[in-house]
Structure 1
């Protein structure tokens, strides 16, 4: 799946959340729910926003933070595992948790 198809696949899977948009960033796309960025689609991978409450679930599964290049690592976004991407209900649950984390850290335009 190329990056364009993957981005469309993710947005389709997350469409039940409503109020979704995307913006180009880091050579990929930032995923927004209302004004809150909660995910990044990059090179056929999805990274979701984490905080101290949700990060242990990712770490326990051996998942890695978002690293758009060798000099930069965004430790507040972690890769979503393939089994979650393949399960629409699980993906919505993980995305909902990422939105909660984004709201809790108030990361959005003008914040």
Structure 2
């Protein structure tokens, strides 16, 4: 799988301006972390970047496609979008898209850490 290894290395280089990037094999692809935040994945030979309600419209406007997989015969759409074609060419072109992914990961972590609001006592 030399091409797979080369693409993983290329994607690590693309994401490197964000900070320390590490990758690991998972689910038949690769996952990418920056400062322990999961921001991207490679699946089906394509790089997908984390998105959320705040950033989704930018990815859609750029013609990016959502990550969809077959979940027991039904399509399951995840909060990841392909990177724009031109962004795959260089770290400079990838940087604004990678930053959106990092920001989405930061928001997701903050949402998980936010304490649940206690129920108001009945009066």
> Which TM-score applies when normalising by structure 2?
0.76
Task: Point out where structure 1 has 5 or more consecutive residues left out of the alignment.
Answer: none
- Rounded to whole Å, the distance in 1 between the matches of 2:45 and 2:10 is 10
Structure 1 vs Structure 2 CA RMSD: 2.1
The answer on 1:94 being equivalent to 2:92 is no
Structure 1's consecutive aligned runs of 4 or more residues displaced over 3 angstroms after TM superposition are: none
In the superposition, the TM-score normalised over structure 1's length comes to: 0.83
Q: Give 1:20's aligned residue.
A: 21
Shift of residue 98 of structure 1?
Answer: 0.5
Which whole-Å CA distance do the structure 1 matches of 2:99 and 2:8 have between them? 18
- Kindly provide the CA deviation profile for residues 12-67 of structure 1, in whole angstroms up to 9, marking residues without a partner as x: 22222222111211211110011110000223311000011110011123322112
Checking the alignment, whether the CA contact within 8 Å between 1:63 and 1:80 is kept in structure 2 is yes
Question: Residue 74 of structure 1: CA displacement?
Answer: 4.0
User: How far apart, in 2, do the equivalents of 1:76 and 1:2 lie?
Assistant: 26
Structure with higher Rg: it is: 2
Tell me, which stretches of 5 or more residues in structure 2 are unaligned? Answer: 114-123
Say whether the 8 Å CA contact 2:49–2:81 is kept in structure 1: yes
Matched residue count: 108
Equivalent position SS for 1:38: strand
